[in-house]
């Protein structure tokens, strides 16, 4: 390649910067690929300008690759990108897991009732209702939700009320499951589903994932999330039914209310194999519902897509009727093969032959 051809290519790439001024994803792709080609030194000014634009532009995407791509690219170039929204969701999941175990295992029924009553009041003075062994957990919940509110912009503070409300609804339904367990009551499948879809995240997840989504998360969006929308119900079905199928297959050490399989067997008088087959069909139906909701109200599409993304994570945890949430070691080999261990050469040869 002579000098004139090289100059022409430099000019062409310069025009590519101009062409993607309004497309953040294309900007990221361009900035990322030039160093890989070893020609980024020709475009230092354009790259720096583009990086500043990527960093300063509000970016919302339901595509996990695009979100992590932006995070990685800016962090590599020395730009601060807050992981606050992900940390908020992670903390929320931890609190939910602890709340579930509290009602399932660690609290007596009366203690669970008192704890739930305090949560419904949502007042630090309600700690007088909380049993001594649960006071620290109660204060931790209060503290974490204050931290969540501190992460929000002043005009976003109202969102934490929805966040709290969803958590209170979840607590009420966890308590109902505890009541059933202590009363040795096996509910009908219909009764069980009404409660277990909520404890499976049908309301909690939609509210939690949109708290940190910026200006597109409007009050209408939160009202939609709190109403247990079809996308949320579908997530709850995927989450809870796949979990219950894994429990039915493998059993569970912690005390638990009768699961969906047992309730279906009781209501319909069928064997466990038949019940599992029927519930597996319901999971398939939930996936269809989730996909359908992506085409119904385009206003809520970014939120529905995030719900779909988390649903796929749940499917990974419980794939093959394994309980990868309770027994996380079952996922170790899979993660190591994907992210730690090199791909064996014989597998590469097989891929090339395809």
21-35, 143-157, 206-220, 269-283: range with highest mean pLDDT: 269-283
Half-sphere exposure of 348 (CA within 13 A, CB side): 4
Res. 280 pLDDT band, cuts 50 70 90: very high
Tokens describing residue 18: 């101009």
Alpha carbons 162 and 244: distance in angstroms, whole number? 28
306 — pLDDT class (breaks 50, 70, 90): confident
**pTM summary value:** 0.73
Q: Does 338 have pLDDT greater than 50?
A: yes
pLDDT for residue 253? 45
With beta carbons less than 8 A apart as the criterion, state whether 212 and 151 touch.
yes
* Confidence at residue 22, expressed as pLDDT on a 0 to 100 scale: 84
- pLDDT tops 80 at residue 6: no
The contacts of residue 158 (CB under 8 Å, 6+ apart) are 219
In angstroms, the CA 238 to CA 121 distance is 31
Q: How far apart are CA 171 and CA 266, in angstroms?
A: 26
Phi, psi of 257 (to 5 degrees): -65, 155
Residue 352 binned pLDDT confidence (cut-offs 50, 70, 90) = low
Sign of the torsion formed by the C-alpha atoms of 147, 151, 157 and 161: negative
Q: Answer yes or no: is pLDDT of 53 > 70.
A: yes
Residue 167 has a CB neighbour count (10 Å cut-off) of 22
Domains contained in the chain, CATH given: 3-76 (no CATH), 84-338 (1.10.600.10)
Q: Are 73 and 28 spatial neighbours (Cβ–Cβ below 8 Å)?
A: yes
182 vs 216: which has the higher pLDDT: 182
Q: Which residue in 211, 198, 124, 117 sits closest to 163, CA to CA?
A: 211
Distances (CA, A) of 32 to 19, 44, 66, 279, 281: 16, 13, 12, 45, 43
Q: Is 63's pLDDT higher than 70? A: no
Q: To 5 degrees, how large is the angle CA 115–CA 119–CA 123?
A: 120
Instruction: List Cβ neighbours of 42 (8 Å cut-off, separation of 6 or more).
Output: 10, 13
CA distance 101 to 254: 8
Phi and psi at residue 122, to the nearest 5°: 50, 60
Nearest in space to 75 (alpha carbons), one of 24, 32, 17, 21: 32
State the average pLDDT for the chain.
86
Tell me what the mean pLDDT of segment 158-186 comes to.
95
Q: Give 319-347 as a DSSP string.
A: GGG--TTT-GGGGHHHHHHHHTSPPPHHH
Q: Give the number of other CB atoms < 10 A from CB of residue 291.
A: 13
pLDDT digits (tens, 9 = 90+) for 107-117: 999 999 999 99
């Amino acid at each position: 390649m002579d000098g004139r051809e090289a100059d022409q290519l430099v000019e062409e790439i310069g025009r590519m910067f101009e062409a993607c001024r309004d497309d953040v994803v294309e900007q990221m792709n361009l900035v990322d690929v030039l160093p890989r080609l070893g020609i980024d030194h020709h475009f230092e000014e354009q790259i720096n300008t583009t990086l500043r634009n990527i960093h300063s532009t509000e970016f919302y995407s339901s595509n996990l690759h695009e979100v992590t791509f932006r995070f990685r690219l800016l962090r590599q170039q020395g730009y601060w990108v807050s992981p606050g929204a992900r940390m908020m969701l992670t903390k929320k999941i931890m609190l939910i897991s602890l709340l579930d175990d509290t009602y399932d295992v660690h609290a007596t029924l009366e203690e669970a009732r008192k704890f739930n009553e305090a949560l419904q009041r949502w007042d630090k003075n309600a700690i007088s209702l909380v049993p001594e062994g649960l006071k620290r957990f109660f204060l931790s919940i209060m503290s974490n939700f204050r931290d969540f509110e501190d992460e929000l912009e002043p005009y976003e503070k109202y969102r934490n009320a929805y966040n709290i409300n969803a958590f209170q609804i979840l607590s009420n339904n966890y308590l109902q499951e505890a009541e059933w367990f202590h009363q040795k009551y096996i509910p009908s499948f219909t009764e069980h589903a009404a409660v277990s879809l909520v404890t499976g995240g049908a309301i909690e997840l939609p509210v939690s994932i949109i708290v940190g989504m910026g200006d597109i998360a409007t009050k209408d969006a939160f009202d939609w999330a709190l109403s247990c929308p079809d996308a949320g119900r579908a997530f709850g079905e995927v989450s809870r039914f796949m979990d219950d199928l894994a429990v039915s297959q493998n059993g569970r050490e912690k005390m638990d209310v009768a699961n969906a399989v047992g309730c279906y067997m009781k209501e319909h008088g069928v064997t466990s194999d038949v019940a599992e087959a029927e519930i597996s069909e319901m999971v398939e139906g939930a996936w269809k519902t989730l996909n359908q909701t992506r085409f119904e109200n385009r206003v809520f599409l970014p939120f529905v897509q995030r719900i779909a993304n988390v649903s796929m994570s749940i499917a990974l945890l419980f794939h093959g009727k394994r309980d990868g949430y309770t027994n996380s070691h079952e996922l170790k080999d899979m993660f190591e093969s994907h992210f730690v261990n090199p791909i064996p050469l014989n597998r590469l040869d097989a891929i090339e032959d395809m």
